[in-house]
Amino acid sequence: MERLDPAKIPRHIAIIMDGNGRWAQKKRLSRIEGHKAGLDAARGVVEACDELGVKILTLYAFSKENWRRPRKEVSELMGLLHAKLKKEREELLKRNIRVNIIGDLDDLPGPIRSTLKKLVEVSRAKNGLLVNLALSYGGRSEIVAGVKKIVADVAAGQITATDITPEIFSRYLFTRDIPDPDLLIRTSGELRISNFLLWQIAYTELYFTATLWPDFGKEELIQACLSFQNRERRFGRTVAQMQEGDAAQ
């Protein structure tokens, strides 16, 4: 941790947790064992982000497309996730962690949906690390849902079409009132975004690693943060403009 500049820790880290199945295959285990190991890795990363001073962590836990997987695997994964949430609830609260859900909760089985809603409610007053769990989430469907909501508000006269700006539109997404990610990490060697936070990552720094998710831990999280701290984020401005801004401070 001493290698990191505390003043430049990413405020919001988003992670595409990929590689559970391949990790299990390499070890000649069932896919569900890979998912168990992946949930353990998620807990470790939540704890590491909390210790590093990250303010927001968004985990891509289950995508809209994942419903296409074999029914048995999906059912087992939902059961694992449900049990893990119930088991970790007190530890999350003890750590002052607030939990939020982004995605289509109505797609989830009733028991896990109920547990998630209770966890969100009981952690609402916490003011430490915010953990966003992306469940039954898809970036395109999120944008389409946002468009439908804003069209309805225009039709109802609550806003006008000329009122719509990127900032206004952001309020119609699952992540309203949450700053965009500073850093997006994807594990397992895949070099794609997979329909994750398509609107929100316009200026996000990307970090790809070949490490399979169950093997991803605090040390590689630090490496990702170091990579982030060594980049220059200009947001469309020139180097000269950035230097002028630094000199004025």
Catalytically annotated residues:
18, 66
Distance between CA atoms of 132 and 233, rounded to whole angstroms? Answer: 24
The three-state DSSP-derived secondary structure of 173-230 is: CCCCCCCCCCEEEECCCCCCCCCCCCCCCCCCEEEECCCCHHHCCHHHHHHHHHHHHC
Q: Is 32 left (phi over 0), alpha (psi -120 to 50) or beta?
A: alpha
- 57, 73, 185, 61: which is closest to 132 by C-alpha? 57
Beta-bridge partner residues of 131: 57, 99
Instruction: State the CB neighbour count (10 A cutoff) for residue 39.
Output: 23
